[in-house]
């Protein structure tokens, strides 16, 4: 998701060191604990298990400077991540913005304090044995102050040079981490208009993905064989799997130790359909699925059959060819203030997304923005480190465990 408002409201169709804990040095320890050199698409998806987003934290910003408390959440702690893991989540996606913490060209140096903090939060999960995904999140939104990864901007030569330098620094920082660390090229990159993809904007998105893969691979170490995650247009399923211009990046610089039959490229999509149930801030549509009791409160589209067709489309296009699909965000907002039964349908939705993804060999990562109550996505209270939506968490775990 994008800016502060978009992060809480999710305007989509279809983030100062605050503790005295030192950042562990990049030593061989970063590869210790497991020899998680997972290879096959099915194995990495199984390893990811139930996934959770640390949303509205490391991508939050104040006047273009990343600040993890700027959007109302407390500082991320080890205790929070431990609670998430104890609740049953095996993987965590950590959206990250860099924005004005990137210096001037030609080096485009990332502010070291910020990169240290990113690494520290990664370590909270990584050293507990979780899989961790990190990306370039808010830098591609026109609505965010300090954004620069704009696919329809005029000076693409400068943007691509900056993009390569930024990813080179991130990749070197995490070079020794094992395959439980996954790098994601960017977030919901598009031109800002909710219509058919445009050119040359989509071509530039493809170019960013290719530059990301090449840059990360060339840094060597475990990056030469690491799983890399790339999105299509606005992480939209139709615009990624359909004939709208998405191009899979080649992987010519990867380690020769990877068998030719294994891809090591993953495809990222997001799922918030139907929008009137999942994200629209009103009390009009509060129920979802075949168990809905009030037809007037249930959307006319986006039910189980649509969900199945969408994830089958991704499987047919990518999964069946060895490219794992990651539903990097999904979820629905709290509308219990309008309908006391809403959480039941939110749980049904989460269970259906995870179970259908399991059916088609895809991984899922629930979007939690840290907000509880009306219109929030929160599953946890990040101040007290307590669970607020046990029913939805249980539904997620049930869906992930569902047999094909």
Write the Ramachandran bin of 307: left for phi over 0, alpha for psi from -120 to 50, otherwise beta.
alpha
| pLDDT at residue 37, as a whole number | 55
Q: Label residue 31 by pLDDT band (50, 70, 90).
A: very low
Question: What is this structure's pTM?
Answer: 0.92
pLDDT at position 13 is 38
Q: Is the pLDDT of residue 160 over 80?
A: yes
- Let me know: does 331 contact 347? Beta carbons within 8 Å: no
Under 8 Å between Cβ of 384 and 348: no
Given a cut of 50, is residue 68 above it in pLDDT?
yes
Between CA 118 and CA 57 the distance in angstroms is: 11
Multiple choice CATH, 40-401, 3.30.390.50, 3.30.1130.10, 3.20.20.80, 1.10.132.50: 3.20.20.80
Taking only the tens place, the pLDDT of each residue in 93-149 is: 999 999 999 999 999 999 999 999 999 999 999 999 999 999 999 999 999 999 999
pLDDT, residue 38, reads 54
Q: Which residues are catalytic?
A: 188, 329
pLDDT tier, 403 (very low <50, low <70, confident <90, very high otherwise): low
Which runs of consecutive H residues, i.e. helices, occur in 127-236? 156-173, 201-218
Residue 289 zone, left/alpha/beta (φ > 0; ψ -120 to 50; rest): left
Place of tokens 């208009």: 193
Nearest-angstrom CA–CA distance, 246 and 285: 33
pLDDT (average), residues 80-84: 98
The SS3 assignment for 401 reads helix
Q: Structure tokens of 71? A: 């959007």
**In degrees, to the nearest 5, what angle opens at C-alpha 327 toward C-alphas 321 and 331?**
160
Q: Which sequence spans correspond to the domains of the chain?
A: 40-401
Angle, CA 364 vertex, CA 168 and CA 115 arms, to 5°: 25
Residues 357-378 pLDDT 10s: 999 999 999 999 999 999 999 9
Task: Characterize 190-211 residue by residue with b for buried, 16 or more Cβ atoms within 10 angstroms of its Cβ, and e for exposed.
Answer: bbeeeeebbeebbebbbbbbbb
């Amino acid at each position: 998701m994008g800016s502060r408002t978009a992060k809480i409201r999710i305007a989509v169709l279809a983030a100062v060191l605050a503790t005295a804990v030192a950042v562990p040095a990049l030593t061989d320890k970063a590869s210790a604990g497991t020899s998680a050199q997972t290879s096959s698409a099915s194995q990495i998806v199984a390893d990811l298990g139930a996934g959770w987003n640390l949303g509205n934290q490391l991508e939050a910003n104040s006047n273009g400077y990343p600040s993890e408390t700027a959007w109302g959440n407390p500082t991320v702690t080890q205790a929070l991540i431990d609670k998430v893991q104890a609740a049953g989540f095996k993987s965590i996606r950590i959206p990250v913005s860099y924005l004005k913490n990137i210096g001037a060209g030609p080096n485009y140096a990332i502010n070291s304090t910020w990169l240290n903090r990113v690494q520290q939060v990664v370590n909270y999960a990584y050293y507990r044995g979780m899989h961790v995904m990190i990306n370039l999140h808010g830098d591609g939104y026109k609505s965010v102050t300090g954004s620069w990864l704009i696919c329809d901007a005029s000076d693409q030569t400068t943007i691509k040079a900056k993009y390569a330098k930024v990813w080179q620094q991130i990749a070197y920082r995490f070079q020794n981490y094992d395959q439980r660390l996954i790098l994601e090229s960017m977030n919901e990159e598009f031109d800002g208009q909710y219509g058919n993809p445009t050119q040359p904007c989509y071509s530039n998105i493809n170019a960013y993905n290719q530059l990301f893969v090449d840059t990360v691979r060339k840094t060597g170490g475990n990056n030469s064989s690491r799983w890399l995650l790339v999105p299509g247009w606005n992480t939209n399923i139709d615009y990624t799997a359909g004939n709208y211009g998405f191009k899979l990046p080649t992987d010519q610089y990867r380690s020769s130790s990877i068998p030719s039959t294994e891809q090591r490229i993953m495809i990222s999509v997001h799922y918030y359909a139907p929008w009137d149930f999942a994200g629209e801030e009103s009390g009009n549509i509060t129920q979802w699925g075949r168990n809905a009791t009030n037809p007037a409160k249930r959307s006319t589209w986006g039910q189980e059959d649509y969900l199945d067709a969408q994830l089958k489309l991704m499987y047919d296009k990518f999964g069946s060819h060895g490219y794992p699909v990651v539903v990097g965000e999904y979820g629905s907002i709290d509308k219990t203030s309008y309908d006391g039964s809403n959480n039941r349908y939110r749980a049904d939705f989460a269970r259906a997304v995870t179970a259908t993804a399991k059916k088609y060999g895809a991984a899922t990562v629930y979007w939690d923005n840290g907000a509880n109550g009306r219109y929030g996505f929160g599953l946890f209270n990040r101040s007290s480190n307590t669970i607020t939506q046990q029913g939805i968490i249980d539904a997620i775990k049930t869906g992930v465990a569902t047999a094909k």
